[in-house]
Amino acid sequence: MELPNDGRRFWKVPKPEPNVFSSLKYELAAFALSARLIVNRRIEWHPGMMWSKSTLDPLYYSYNTRSVWLDLCSFQERIEPILYGIYNHIGLSNPRPGRLTCTLTGAGKRRLFAIGNFVRQRLLHPVHDWAMRVLSRMPMDGTFNQKGPIDRLSRMSPSDILYYDLSSATDRFPVVVLEAVFTRLFGRAMSSCVVSGSLWWNVFWTHRPLLKKARYISFAAGQP
């Protein structure tokens, strides 16, 4: 499993291949550093809002808002000091919050993909699960059964069929569009946490050959 902070960066002697367990402390340190930057800049959306296990209901704005703020208070009281302790103990000034890498897919093609912070991806996992459950209940969606919508359409025997291919468009949704959709579903507080705090704040360390000078970048459209 690839992570932004590969443990081999810090090994002085050769060791076995790193895994999520050997690199987890560096991922926690990177998450702690980004959380500290959010607090120092007094930004209201914080990924710690998603740390506690809770149930959020679409269109129940007042409950969702109260829930995420209570979760943030719990995170700052119980979890944040532990994460800062890990960051200070490791002593790294620049743990990578994410990185871009590429792979050769054949025929000379090079596919670029992003590796995000492990902790942030785990925080977004319930959101991904919710979205997949919604899609699984739509009979016209073929995410889990690509043949199902075609069979359903054939039983209806329509006289005209209109088809739109949105495979590329869905990969290019801007952050402002994603936040507008989530705000309509869960309210502004939860939307800011998911889209701004966990998606847009996903920054990636990039260097040659992609850029002449190494720097951090983030995605304003399309979320890797």
Q: What is the mean pLDDT of the chain?
A: 78
What confidence score (pLDDT) does residue 15 get?
Answer: 55
Average confidence (pLDDT) over 31-45: 76
pLDDT in tens, 77-128: 998 899 888 888 887 777 777 777 777 777 777 777 778 888 888 888 888 8
What confidence score (pLDDT) does residue 94 get?
Answer: 75
pLDDT in tens, 161-214: 777 766 666 667 778 888 888 899 988 888 888 887 777 667 777 777 777 777
SS (H, E, C) the chain: CCCCCCHHHHCCCCCCCCCHHHHHHHHHHHHHHHHHHHHHCCCCCCHHHHCCCCCCCCCCHHHHHHHHHHHHHHHHHHHHHHHHHHHHHHCCCCCCCEEEEEEEEECCEEEEEEEECHHHHHHHHHHHHHHHHHHHCCCCCCCCCCCHHHHHHHHHCCCCCCCCCCCCHHHHCEHHHHHHHHHHHHCHHHHHHHHHHHHHCCEEEECCCCCCCCEEEECCECCC
What confidence score (pLDDT) does residue 4 get?
Answer: 65
